[in-house]
Structure 1
Amino acid sequence: MTTSTMTIARSELILGGQKSGKSSRAEQLAAEWSISDPQHEVMMIATAQAGDAEMKVRIELHRLLRQKKLPRCQTIEETIEIAKVIEQYSDPKRFLLIDCLTLWLSNFLSPPPEQNNASPSDLAASFLQAHSALLNAIHACRGPIVLVSNEIGQGVIPLGAETRYFVDQLGLLNQVVAQACERVTLMVAGCPIYIKGTA
């Protein structure tokens, strides 16, 4: 699958720190896919939850910027069942963009208080099931799929046990998703570094 300026992998994981250019890179790939064929579609699966006023503003800003870059992009907001959405909308002519796995993990491990009735072991078991379903959905996806996630394990080890657990779980999630994807790209200051696969 190629576009006018870059090759689009069948599946790609884009990693990076905060404001490293992860989402912009994913949207650039989606835009290239969209303009390469009038029948091509782009669908974004957004995992963010607007838990406070700052997050609501951040989400709305992302929507406005995305509308400019990808005016024909459809957006589905799904905080938990992203594997089911991938399976439902997978199509050879459709580019799926999942942004992001970090917030998806956070939704599992830190649910809102009104939904926080499950024990930690139940939450972990539920996440492992969703984890497996996501990998299966990536492998079975019939069109290109790009997943965005944060690289947060390169700094100081956090003091809090919950934060350490989250960093560990995100690192493990990134590893298995990277194994499932054809290409893995690390974004540093807006520049892509190809960790797996070719440019």
Structure 2
Amino acid sequence: MTLSRHSSALPPAGRHELILGGAKSGKSRTAELRAAAWLAAAPGREATLIATALAGDEEMAERIRRHQAERAARVDALRTVEAPLDLPGALRIHAHPERLLVVDCLTLWLTQCLLPPAGDGLDKAGWAACEAQLLAALRDSASPVVLVSNEIGLGVMPMSREARACVDALGLLHQRVAALCERVTLMVASCELRVKGAQ
């Protein structure tokens, strides 16, 4: 594994990367650097961020607004679309060989599928079908895709059954997504630790 700081290199078109990290580890900013590098590498390229967050309260709404403003300041050509639930559909709709897709993030998408703020989440069979749709969209994607997600499996096991099920589901999702990615990067204090793939 190789440790580097703020690398902006991107795998070739059609290849994917999974960026994992804890809260405020620099994972979203690193994904934005990938988008900036993609856009700068050749004329005519596009980059689209697929945002999965839902504003369940005012604090989250403010957090989303802040992230939107910061993204616009750092990579003004990075277009944003909202897909809090139908992430597989968004990946299929927006895929194009000259467009990089950035998913931020898998953790919120999974949580909204399994533990939505209002109403019941997907059961085991429903989640399995939804996960399969995401993996198929990644396998079929004409776009290179950079996926951001929280590494939450290193801490204390949650107390509730529902939270434990989410932690397990996210860990398994990470494994399955990583198998489809040429590169997996772990962010630690804004430094990149290469877990899979060439530098």
C-alpha deviation, 1:8, in angstroms: 2.7
Q: Distance in 2 between matches of 1:43 and 1:67?
A: 12
Name the counterpart of 2:52.
Answer: 47
Greater per-residue helix proportion: 1
One-letter amino acid of the counterpart of residue 18, structure 1: A
Q: Kindly tell me the number of residue pairs found equivalent between the two proteins.
A: 190
CA contact (8 A) 1:108 1:123 kept: no
Superposition deviation, residue 131 in structure 1: 0.4
1:93 is the counterpart of 2:98: yes
Distance 1:55 1:32, change over 3 A: same
Counterpart amino acid of 1:91? H
Structure 1: how far apart are the matches of 2:82 and 2:43?
Answer: 25
Is residue 108 from structure 1 mapped to residue 135 from structure 2 by the alignment? no
Q: Percent identity?
A: 45
**Preserved contact between residue 19 and residue 184 of structure 2 (Cα < 8 Å):** yes
Could you tell me which residue of structure 2 aligns to residue 6 of structure 1? 9
Q: Is the 8 A contact 1:8 1:33 kept in 2?
A: no
Counterpart position of 1:132? 132
- 1:32 corresponds in structure 2 to 37
TM-score where L is the length of structure 2: 0.91
- Detail structure 1 runs of 4+ shifted over 3 Å in the superposition: none
Q: What is the identity, as a one-letter code, of the residue corresponding to 1:37?
A: A
Deviation at 1:123, TM superposition (A): 2.9
- The one-letter amino acid of 2:86's match is E
Specify the SS of the correspondent of 1:62.
helix
Deviations 1:96-137 (A, max 9, x none): 000000000010111232xx1x5x6x5332221110011111
Cα separation, 2, equivalents of 1:187 and 1:51: 27
TM-score by length of 1: 0.91
Q: For the residues of structure 1 that align with 2:117 and 2:157, how far apart are their CA atoms?
A: 26
Q: Is the partner of 1:66 in helix, strand or coil? A: helix
**Cα RMSD for the two superposed structures:** 1.3
Q: Which residue of 2 aligns with 1:186?
A: 186
Structure-2 separation of matches of 1:57 and 1:104: 19
Aligned to 2:165: 165
Gaps of 5+ in 2: 1-7
Q: Deviations over 1:136-179 (max 9, x none)?
A: 11111112100001101111222222221111111111111111
TM-fit CA distance, 1:182: 1.1
5+ unaligned residues in a row in structure 1: which ranges? none
| Whole-angstrom distance in 2 between the partners of 1:49 and 1:139 | 26
CA apart distance, 1:7: 3.7
**Which deviates more from structure 2 when the two are superposed, residues 89-98 or residues 158-167?**
158-167
1:63, distance to aligned residue in structure 2 (A): 0.3
